[in-house]
Amino acid sequence: MSVPGSYYLTVAAMLFCIGAIGLLVRRNALVMFMCVELMLNAVNLTFVTFARMLDDIGGQVFVFFTLVVAAAEVVVGLALIVSIFRRRQGATADDVSLLRG
């Protein structure tokens, strides 16, 4: 007896919304990044679930591309955080409210 896809979709929706709340509530740039990863993962779970429900391998291939984009995003984002942290002693979102170095 296999678990219906709607249950996976519900869990994915919960993960996505928790990630969105965390992104809005937290102010540490690193934790905000982790929340973005959480949302990306929720969408990956949705892709895999629909790949099974619609019986299409394209969903799983798309998750592969999402993983690559997420990896690139993390690398550039963490480099940005490191370079912000060098300039000023803190990595919260409020520290970078000005558009100058």
Q: Examine residue 26 and tell whether it contacts other proteins (CB under 8 A).
A: yes
- 95 near other proteins, judged by CB under 8 A: no
71 φ, ψ (degrees, to nearest 5) = -65, -45
- Gap between the Cα atoms of 77 and 68, Å rounded: 14
User: What's the burial of 20, exposed, middle or buried (CB within 10 Å: 0-12/13-18/19+)?
Assistant: middle
Kindly state whether residue 81 participates in binding other proteins, applying the rule CB under 8 A: yes
Output the smallest distance, CB 96 to other proteins, in A.
14
Residue 57 is given by DSSP the state T
Smallest gap from residue 47 Cβ to other proteins (A) = 9
Does 36 contact other proteins by CB under 8 A? no
Query: CB of residue 43 vs other proteins: minimum separation in angstroms?
Result: 11
